[in-house]
Structure 1
């Protein structure tokens, strides 16, 4: 069926213009620069007057908890939340139960997503101290890359042996697969936690979280990751960068050719001052850092040092978010509200809407070589988000689609709203009306 989106302002590939988009079945058939509807017969027309028409967002950093942790979230529930937020594709992390560190576990996730994901999907393969040889068996057209935990966030997925790290970077380079790293030095964190407990008791107040999971812990681990990437000529994507100091790693000789950086909403929106009011709701790893760190990360959005924006969407039960640095679980849900939160930053002058689209749609597609996604182009899959400004609403529990049913932004008043989402040409979200029968597609790469 042919569909027409007309009257809106299109934001795509650095340009903003009035125009129309024609969808033919699952693909974009035409993009025109005019304010009048295109001629022809259409099974559905959407008047986007007063709205902005964007490529569907691509979130390459989420934790959907399935299999093994379905009490927190499922692929079905969190992909639904994604569609409500204008996110049409996601790439999920390997720290589920079982962990995605074998070919069998990886294939199981794809089978689950094929049955239940409402939007497009893929999964990282997780590296361990013992599975580097499996990297050579991966289908480079079916996955974006290898996820490597160089920090104490993930139990036995922590890779802390030098020879294992060397093997992972070497094998990934041979396969031309990027390595995406979580970088925190476990030894530094453990020593900081021990001192904090001696000073403040067994569960130090959450206001000390950024001191325990400190700038130095991030810096030392990220510096090692860059060293390994340069040694093995491996493409490295450092996830959820949280400190200003780590930005300087791009100044190392050769780093700009191999190393890219991701920022996530938590580190761009919050600072350590917010622990006083948000408490453990904003506890995440790496920790939310200082006002200066946040300011420098925001600057890096516009000057190109940060390549992509993700969410690190990580739902937990609200009961698990109680306590301090030792007891409260780290992670927060954000995928449903990532786009509107970044649009708020556009209003506040942090970045332009054209840069937002680059960071959240174009760059993820380019960085991971995702086929036919991330842009509004003739012949590409019709993944589209339509957002409306000056449409105030308050985030209340009944709006939250994530299974955990809480958000660190609860009570916040937004001025932008996602009014329509198209996934592969299907109108999955239409002014809060959701097409629960919609299923996404497996992403393809390279």
Structure 2
């Protein structure tokens, strides 16, 4: 592998900022020093740029296999690295659902051939595949995904006996989507009775309500405490839920952790009037108070990591009526610059962005030698120019679906370079393909 020398970057790492050089050799960070004069195959002048550990996104839906008209591991990983995300963990609600070890292995085989970013895949749980779930290799798979709310295919886990067994017997991290299905269906029936099929997007947070989220999240927390389960609750969408989590323990000692997503910290229900179905997610984007409360919980440590829940659909699918339009949207290309925008607004620091989008994900999932800028660690790095403005437009969107909820938004910052496992894969707007990312491994 070619050696890379990054010169005079402002490094943001482990709650510090300092100017230094970094030497990358054989995929790893060999040296971090104030000045490194050794020869290298490639030199990057990073004066005036900020260097962060590559973002690790613990929740994406890249749609392969079975839903490749929406996105593919290849197309979405390209968008990810262009956005500074160097590693991803992908969810099991593809087609077929990833409910057997064979189907899980198939996804790893696809990623090995196609992914520009480093990768891992969740094993899916259903009401009737506990034996398969318990075969999962804790050293080579990021976790078990449990949908405690409606989902694609056979992935709704609502059997109390199954949930009890999963939480008591799983030897590894369980990540949950928490919405109470009975509450959602009751709310939907109520609004259908009043409005028939004329329900509009502004009713989405009323149907997938705060109550539905809190009932399910609190039940998951209760189950985890009872069984000492390693629980990670995904995409917290209400301020009320943030109080289920602790900020007194060090992250490495927590048994229960939580994630916030970009869209729940950026948009509010006021944006449905202009964005419509393009910000229809499950769980729903809710009030300004919820949005601000989630960000506050990120800052004070109740919420541990920031992710995207990247879930592309076609323009045609999203352009349907509210009841027909699927939930989810593409985010990986614009997640980091969106958080940097919050930095420009004085709402979060660069050090906190590095912590929540890289360091803490590595700690939560016990990822081997990633998530930090340290000698001996894999060189997963992103350089950003905090003063290079760019506008999100159709012609610079890399998602296969070719749209973004941020379309028309001008960001104050840009990603200039992305390095994945020691390989430069993105430079000043150009993707450099030919060497794929690596499978993540875990120290458990």
After superposition, residues 235-314 of structure 1 pair within 5 angstroms as 235-250=230-245, 257-314=254-311
Q: Among residues 179, 184, 187, which one is paired with 1:184 in the alignment?
A: 179
Aligned twin of 1:227: 222
After superposition, residues 49-128 of structure 1 pair within 5 angstroms as 49-128=47-126
Quote how far apart the aligned CAs of 1:346 are. 0.9
425-434 or 197-206, larger mean C-alpha shift = 197-206
Gaps of at least 5 residues in structure 1 are none
Q: Among residues 396, 408, 412, which one is paired with 1:411 in the alignment?
A: 408
Aligned twin of 2:323: 326
Aligned twin of 1:18: 19
Kept in 1, the 8 Å contact 2:246–2:302? The answer is no
Q: Among residues 399, 402, 423, which one is paired with 2:420 in the alignment?
A: 423
Aligned twin of 1:146: 144
Deviation string 1:167-221 (CA, Å, 9 cap, x unpaired) is 111121xx2x111000001111111111112222314110111001000000000
Between the aligned partners of 1:47 and 1:252, the Cα distance in structure 2 is 39
**Aligned: 1:201 with 2:199:** no
After superposition, residues 348-363 of structure 1 pair within 5 angstroms as 348-363=345-360
Quote how far apart the aligned CAs of 1:154 are. 2.7
Between the aligned partners of 2:133 and 2:143, the Cα distance in structure 1 is 9
Q: Among residues 380, 385, 390, which one is paired with 2:382 in the alignment?
A: 385
Deviation string 1:413-434 (CA, Å, 9 cap, x unpaired) is 0110000000111110111121
Q: SS at the partner of 1:61? A: strand
Between the aligned partners of 1:435 and 1:253, the Cα distance in structure 2 is 43
Quote how far apart the aligned CAs of 1:234 are. 0.1
Between the aligned partners of 1:294 and 1:132, the Cα distance in structure 2 is 36
Change (3 A) 1:335 1:253: closer
Q: SS at the partner of 1:336? A: coil
**Aligned: 1:6 with 2:7:** yes
Between the aligned partners of 1:43 and 1:252, the Cα distance in structure 2 is 45
Deviation string 1:94-123 (CA, Å, 9 cap, x unpaired) is 000111110010000000001111110010
**When the two structures are aligned, how many residues end up with a matched partner?**
440
Between the aligned partners of 1:61 and 1:420, the Cα distance in structure 2 is 23
Between the aligned partners of 1:208 and 1:145, the Cα distance in structure 2 is 33
Change (3 A) 1:59 1:251: closer
TM-score, normalised to structure 2, is: 0.97
Quote how far apart the aligned CAs of 1:324 are. 4.2
Between the aligned partners of 2:134 and 2:122, the Cα distance in structure 1 is 14
Deviation string 1:114-143 (CA, Å, 9 cap, x unpaired) is 111111001000111011122331111111
Q: SS at the partner of 1:21? A: strand
Between the aligned partners of 2:196 and 2:8, the Cα distance in structure 1 is 60
**Aligned: 1:339 with 2:340:** no
Quote how far apart the aligned CAs of 1:18 are. 0.9
Following TM superposition, the consecutive aligned residue runs of length 4 or more in structure 1 with deviations greater than 4 angstroms are 251-256
Quote how far apart the aligned CAs of 1:351 are. 1.1
Say what the alpha-carbon RMSD is for the aligned residues: 1.5
Kept in 2, the 8 Å contact 1:318–1:404? The answer is yes
Gaps of at least 5 residues in structure 2 are none
Change (3 A) 1:140 1:275: same
TM-score, normalised to structure 1, is: 0.96
Between the aligned partners of 2:137 and 2:23, the Cα distance in structure 1 is 34
Change (3 A) 1:432 1:200: same
Change (3 A) 1:47 1:251: closer
Kept in 2, the 8 Å contact 1:55–1:384? The answer is yes
